[in-house]
Amino acid sequence: MDAAQEMKGELKARMKDTMTEAQIARADAIMKGWFAFNDYALLIEHQCTEHAEAIGRKAADMIAAEVGQSRDLIDGRDAEFGRILGNTIRTFQMTLPYQHQGNDALMKEQLKWMDYAQQLGRTAEMVQFDVDSMKEIFEERRYWIEETGDVSLALDAVTTPTCFRDLTVADGIEFNADRTEISYVSPYKRILEKGWLRNIWTGLTEQHIHEQWTIPRFAGYQDHFQVRFEVDPWDEATRLVRIRVMPAVA
């Protein structure tokens, strides 16, 4: 046995000393499943990468035909689009330790910082930093609203960027007819519950995120636009987030 193998054996022995039989069984099952998944995922990744340009072009053409568009929806970025589709296909193969969705990475990064801020008692500071960082971008929209009288442009500014869409895409979002109201299912439950099982972000809940992150942020954003955002209270039964925009109270 070489030094590296010996060190691995010692590490395994030390870990086993601190694990219950149930934890060892779970870890072994996930490890075996992961090795099988990884081999398959690497194959999918290689095949999709090798054919990325063709995949991107065929998919773009198919989507354009399906929705009745004649223009090139990806502006000739065939290989890039193909790689993104390939990575999405790879994500859909990942079922251990849970079925992954396209917004997993974004949610986990958000949850880490939310948990960090909460543990330090600095959630309000994090929210204010976010609000302040958007000031210049959002106040440009204020001019549009003043010129057109269309307050829906404020909600559009917050929900049109890809970061918001990437976060909510798995369960979908809905607008009302004049786009002054949006609703979506809170996306965090699945990842939170998996984290709790591993003693991660145990102080966070969807209700906490809604009340300490979502509502305060929109309260701050509305000042940039000079409009009023109204966010419904948290509903544990539906987990639906509903946000409306209206003219600011005079």
Query: Helices 104-119 and 189-197 sit at what angle, rounded to 10 degrees?
Result: 60
* CA dist., res. 63 & res. 55, Å (int): 12
Higher-confidence position of 212 and 9:
212
Residue 119, domain extent: 104-247
pLDDT tens profile 130-150: 999 999 989 888 999 999 999
Same domain for 8 and 70?
yes
> Residue 102 above 80 pLDDT?
yes
Predicted confidence at residue 63, as pLDDT, reads 97
Given 70, 93, 116, the domain boundary residue is: 93
Same domain for 78 and 139?
no
pTM: 0.82
pLDDT tens profile 59-100: 999 999 999 999 999 999 999 999 999 999 988 888 777 788
Mean pLDDT on 112-116: 95
> Residue 120 above 90 pLDDT?
yes
Same domain for 59 and 130?
no
pLDDT tens profile 172-194: 899 999 999 999 999 999 999 98
Same domain for 44 and 114?
no
Same domain for 113 and 75?
no
Place of tokens 């090798």: 50
Q: How many domains does the chain have?
A: 2
Same domain for 151 and 232?
yes
Predicted confidence at residue 155, as pLDDT, reads 95
* CA dist., res. 85 & res. 56, Å (int): 7
Same domain for 70 and 192?
no
Which CATH number covers residue 221? Answer: 3.30.1380
> Residue 3 above 70 pLDDT?
no
Q: Which two tokens stand for residue 204?
A: 């966070």
- What is 96-165 written as a DSSP string? SSS---TTHHHHHHHHHHHHHHHHTT-HHHHHHHHHHHTHHHHHHHHHHHHHH--THHHHHHHHSSHHHH
**Assigned domain for 99 exists:** no
**Assigned domain for 98 exists:** no
pLDDT tens profile 213-250: 999 999 999 999 999 999 999 999 999 999 999 999 75
Predicted confidence at residue 249, as pLDDT, reads 77
State the CB neighbour count (10 A cutoff) for residue 239: 17
Mean pLDDT on 42-46: 88
**Assigned domain for 228 exists:** yes
Same domain for 115 and 221?
yes
CA distances from 167 to 61, 88, 89, 112 (A): 26, 14, 18, 15
Same domain for 114 and 209?
yes
Same domain for 21 and 123?
no
Predicted confidence at residue 147, as pLDDT, reads 95
